[in-house]
């Protein structure tokens, strides 16, 4: 388990790797825990200039995570653009969580 977490953290920005359903969900959940923790830390401070940088970094991590999952399913990475359509993005997220991987 520790090796899996270490591997994912060293390859967090990889677009060409694969990610299973659990790996995809854990990366997504960790990303949101990081966001909530960061906003709780800066809630009382006036250091809001870091928020755009955080949003850019988390967006790249999220797109890389989706691309890794799409590689595992065997679909084109261009489908990651569906995340930016509001209701379709939610349905696409559920699809990525429910579809088993095809590459072994």
Kindly report, residue by residue over 42-85, the tens digit of the pLDDT.
Answer: 766 666 677 788 788 888 988 999 999 999 998 988 999 888 89
- What's the pLDDT at 48? 67
Reported as a single tens digit per residue, the pLDDT across 2-35 is 777 777 778 888 888 888 888 888 888 888 888 7
Which residue bears the tokens 């990303």?
31
- What's the pLDDT at 87? 93
What separation in angstroms does the CA of 92 have from each of 24, 45, 88, 98? 13, 36, 6, 10
List the end-to-end C-alpha distance of the chain, in Å, as a whole number: 19
Angle at the Cα of 1 from the Cα atoms of 57 and 23, rounded to 5 degrees: 45
Averaged pLDDT score across all residues of the chain: 83
């Amino acid at each position: 388990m520790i090796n899996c977490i270490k591997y994912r953290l060293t390859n967090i920005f990889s677009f060409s790797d694969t990610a299973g359903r659990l790996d995809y969900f854990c990366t997504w959940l960790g990303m949101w825990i990081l966001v909530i923790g960061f906003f709780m830390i800066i809630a009382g401070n006036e250091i809001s200039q870091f928020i755009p940088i955080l949003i850019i970094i988390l967006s790249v991590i999220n797109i890389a995570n989706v691309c890794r999952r799409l590689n595992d399913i065997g679909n084109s990475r261009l489908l990651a653009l569906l995340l930016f359509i509001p209701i379709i993005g939610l349905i696409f997220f559920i699809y990525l969580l429910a579809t088993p991987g095809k590459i072994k």
